[in-house]
Each structure stands twice: as C-alpha cells, then as structure tokens.
Amino acid sequence: MEDLQYLPNNESVLDGNAAAGLLQEAFGTEMTANKVQCASCGKVSRVGALLVYGSCMGSVLRCPGCQGMMLRIASRHDALWLDMQGVTYLRQERVAP
Amino acid sequence: VAINRLRSALFRPEQSSSPPVRPEPLRWQIASVKAVKQETPRVKTFTLSLPDWREFLPGQHFDIRLTAPDGYQAQRSYSIASNPERKDEIDLSVALLEDGEVSSYMHNVLIPGDYIEVRGPIGGYFVWKAVMGGPLLLVAGGSGVVPLMSMVRHREAAGSTVPARLLYSSRNLEDVIYLNELNALSSAGNGLGVIYTLTHDQPPGWKGYSRLVDDSMLREVAAPLGPNPRVYVCGPTPMVEAVANNLVKIGIPQAQIRTERFGPTGGRP
C-alpha cells in the first residue's frame, strides 16, 4: 500500500513500459513482464512497474518501493549502454504472459 | 538409457512443458500512411500499413522515429488503438502536444501515401488479451484511452463476454475519443459498460460524473465487477498516481493494478 503512496509527485515520471523499446534493443526480447529485485531494499517488481525518468534516448529506472536506482540505459548511435548495478536478479519468464 | 531418454526429449521439443523464449529483435520498418482521421480537435488516428505486421497484444505500443536531413532524430512511443484481429495494419491515435516535435509533424505534415519509420510491437506488461479473462476495470484519462480501446475492440472481436467497465475521464465531451464507437459497444449488451466523467465542461442535462476520478467514484464503478478485477489505468502521470492510490484505498489488490503513465517526455500516446 505504501509503495504507491510513496511515489514522488513528479510529472516526468513514467512506467517501465516507457523503456520497453530500449530494453528490447538491449536484450533482444520483450523485458517489461519480467521480475527484477531491487539491490537497495529487496523489493521484487515487474520491469514494467518500475519508475522511469528520462527520455526515449536514455532512461533511469527506479524501484517503486524505495526509489533506489535499479537500471540505467542509454542509446547512442554507436553503442547501447546498460548499467544494472541496482538489480540483484532478473527473472526471465520462458512463457509469454 | 538415461542418455537415450534425454536425447529423445531433446528431439521432441513439442513435449517440453516450457517452450523456449522466442527472441524478438526489434527492427525498424517503413510503414505507409493509409488513412488519417480527425477524432477530436486535438487527436488524429493514423492507419499505418506495415510490410512486416506481427500479431500484437492489446496495450502494446510502437515507436516512431523521424530523421531530419542533418541526421537529427526524434523518437516517441504511441499506443496501438486497433485490435490484433485486424491484420497488416495498425491504428495509432496521436494527441497533438504543444511543442511536440513528433506529434506536430504527424498532425501537420503526414498525409495518406506518406511513409514513416516505425518499430514494434513493444511491451509485455501493460497488456491484456481475452484468454487472460476478467472481470476488467479500465480507467482512462484523456488520450490514455488509446491502449484501453485496443483492449475493448479486441474483447469484442474475440467474442469475449468477460464483464468489463471503462471509466473514461475527459475535460469535456468534444475531447472524448471514439465516442460513437464506445456508445455503440456499450449498448450492444455484451457486458461492456462505459462510464464518463467530464471534469471541466458538461453539456446541458449531463447525467454522468463531472469531477476528477476519486475513491467514491471508483468504488461505484468497480462494485459490479466484484472484489478482484484486473485493472488497467492509463493517463497523465498525476492522474494515474491518484487513481492507483485510490484503487488500493478501496481494497483492490495492488498486484491486480497495471498502470501506464505518459508525460511530456514520453509523448505517449
């Protein structure tokens, strides 16, 4: 319950859905239905439920529980950068939802 | 014997209980604009013919990329409005944003016969298909109705009868997208209810809600669906946050609530 109430009142925050294209570029498959665990607080969330800050060219994905930074992703013309130091594990489902 | 058994299992993938993940690399493709329809003063629907059309899930989106002669690129995501039963083409309903680089190009420049670079379908979280069942509670703010419209159209086309209610918040009646189609679908008697709230201006004799979505409104709208509906909320960030909080407040399990926020940077839908 506190998770949703904890959200910052920030109009620029989006859901993990907004980073779906970048993540699919990085992993080669749909990622937003997968579960990830936050390295800061241990909360497990769907990637699509993370809080996304940034634009379609680069995003920071934060934990909806503690706001901790979980994932950073940036797309440039020459390379795609992915920083996952805020994620302890990612569970990739074998069956599509 | 064990090795033979293993080998026979390997050669019979259809017996495997967990099929392998199918890689779906995203590729840009050139879509052609088949039709443009003015839905409301600020929203147009673009019908795009896709050379590489793929089965999508209602709720998914497409990325659109514009490239200037000097190489500058702008990219935005737009939700699919059509249902997957319609093959070879998709509808994207796009709201014209002030200083919207991509939406203003689409609204002011793009005409039938033009080509545009797209990739998709994208996303697997904010999706619903008929086999997932219901009951279904859909809450839309403004053009947040677009991905929910794909779900509603799919529900109808798939012959699904799961109870479904769409609560659609709009500033006024002129800004309600798909008004005629929604009214026809809700009066068809197939278990879909559409409830409007007009937050700024109401026509004379308006009998619907006329305030922002709050907890008592959600309680009234959700009541016929029972305690455990699947909920999809799409709209501007502040609206989605208020609705998500109020849904939890009226006792809907958080795990049942899926949200899609759109903001100035995301430009969706």
Yes or no, beta carbons of A96 and B236 under 8 Å apart? no
Q: Write the pLDDT tens digit of every residue in B132-175.
A: 998 999 999 999 999 999 999 999 999 999 999 999 999 999 99
Residue B86: what pLDDT?
97
pLDDT exceeds cutoff 90 at B229: yes
Task: Inspect the interface and report whether the beta carbons of A30 and B77 lie closer than 8 Å.
Answer: no
Give per-residue pLDDT as tens, B50-98: 999 999 999 999 999 999 898 888 888 899 999 999 999 999 999 998 8
pLDDT bracket for residue A76 (50, 70, 90): confident
Of B23, B26, B125, the CB nearest to A48: B125
Q: Which residues of B touch A13 (CB under 8 A)?
A: 237, 261, 263
Q: Is A5 in Cβ contact with B237 (below 8 Å)? A: no
Judge whether B198 and B210 are in contact, CB under 8 Å. Answer: yes
> Could you tell me which of B147, B2, B157, B158 has the C-alpha nearest to residue B81?
B147
Contact check, Cβ <8 Å, B125/A20:
yes
Tell me what pLDDT residue B80 has. 97
In this predicted structure, the answer to whether residue B198 has a pLDDT above a threshold of 90 is yes
The maximal CA–CA distance of chain A, rounded, in angstroms, is: 42
Measure CB to CB from residue A32 to each of B22, B23, B124 and give the nearest one. B124
Identify whether the C-beta of residue B171 lies closer than 8 Å to the C-beta of residue B142.
Answer: yes
Out of A10, A20, A52, closest to residue B123 by CB: A20
Chain B residues near any Cβ of chain A (below 8 Å): 18-26, 61, 63, 75-77, 119-120, 122-127, 236-238, 241, 244-245, 248, 254, 258-266, 268
Contact A10 B237 (CB under 8 A): yes
How far out from the chain centre does Cα B109 lie?
24
Query: Chain-centre distance of CA B116, in angstroms?
Result: 21
The answer to whether A40 and A66 are in contact (CB under 8 A) is yes
Query: How much of chain B, in percent, has pLDDT values that exceed 90?
Result: 77
Per residue in B232-243, pLDDT (tens digit) is 999 998 899 999
pTM higher than the cut 0.90 = no
pLDDT of A7: 42
Q: Do A15 and B259 touch (CB under 8 A)?
A: yes
pLDDT tens-digit readout, A17-65:
888 988 998 888 889 999 999 999 999 999 999 999 876 678 899 999 9
CB nearest B237 (choices: A11, A21, A33)? A11
Angle between helices B215-222 and B237-249 (to 10 degrees): 70
The two three-digit tokens of residue B232, written as one number: 């999809």
What confidence score (pLDDT) does residue A6 get?
39
Contacts of A21 in chain B (CB under 8 A): 26, 63, 77, 119-120, 122
Residues of A in contact with B123 (CB under 8 A): 17, 20, 30, 32, 48
Contact B76 A56 (CB under 8 A): yes
Burial of B4 (0-12, 13-18, 19+ CB in 10 A): exposed
Q: Are B197 and B211 in contact (CB under 8 A)?
A: yes
